[in-house]
Amino acid sequence: MPAYLDAILHAHRAAAAVDRRDVAGTVARVRREVAQRADGDRRDFVAALVAGHRERGMAVISEIKRRSPSRGDLDPGLDPATVAADYAAGGASCLSVLTDQEFFGGTPSDLVAARGACGLPVLRKDFTVGPLDVCDAAVMGADAVLLIVAALDDGELGSLLALATELGLAALVEVHDERELDRALAVGARLVGVNQRDLRTFDVDRERALLMAEAMPAGLVAVAESGIRDATDVERLAAAGYTAVLVGETLVRSADRASAVDGLLGARA
């Protein structure tokens, strides 16, 4: 079976190894830039999820991506600004924007365009392997960054979470099993995503999030990711205690994306 995660991480770590930027200097510069931003430039990713859950029983993080390593092209010519506006009109609470170009066809400019087209907080969906990735997310205007437990050792996970927090970014810490959940909790993660897709094979287990819900401690903001197709899936995950769902392929492939987001939430109020 293809080892997708291994290939993607190899490419990202190789790119990081040849990045000649001074890490300490870049972090210090970005800290200053973040400190100088007006409060109006910040969008609270976690607060938006909590509000969406309170208002409709579930929050939706709608994803913008052109392609997938396992599925191929989804919508290679999509306009991220138009898609973002459609998602917002449909009731999404937040956006997730793929910025990986080699494997997903995304770019940082996709995130900039999507964020500029609506008022929703935006997650930079990419494979974070070092502090420069977190800095880049802050500079491009992201409100949250993804940290994949399977891609990081404990030291990296803790330090990147701390840096994201310092730079005013939420960190969606992604896990796949109870061992990874324990590692996430050990570094203080409070926003935790359960990815139902195995990142090494890209197979989806639609029972994974339901099983993992039993291990989630009270007080977490829990997000179910991947394999979510319709309002029935959302209903089951809401009943299991999830605050939000992150949905990509189902929405990207939809002919009416605003209605597709609204449809995931069904008659919930």
State the catalytic residues. Answer: 63, 65, 125, 174, 195, 225-226
Distances (CA, A) of 17 to 70, 104, 114: 26, 21, 29
Name the 3-class secondary structure at 173.
strand
Query: Which amino acid, one-letter code, is at 103?
Result: F
The Cβ of residue 5 has, within 10 Å, a number of other Cβ atoms equal to 18
d(CA 154, CA 139): 25
Name the 3-class secondary structure at 172.
strand
Question: Angle formed by the axes of helices 80-90 and 108-116, to 10°?
Answer: 50
d(CA 6, CA 22): 26
Helix (H), strand (E) at residue 109: helix 108-116
Checking DSSP bridges between strand 244-247 and strand 67-68, what pairing results, if any?
A: unpaired
Question: Angle formed by the axes of helices 4-18 and 131-140, to 10°?
Answer: 90
d(CA 193, CA 46): 12
> Residue 224: CB partners within 8 Å, gap ≥ 6?
193, 194, 196, 209, 237, 242, 244, 245, 246
Name the 3-class secondary structure at 197.
strand
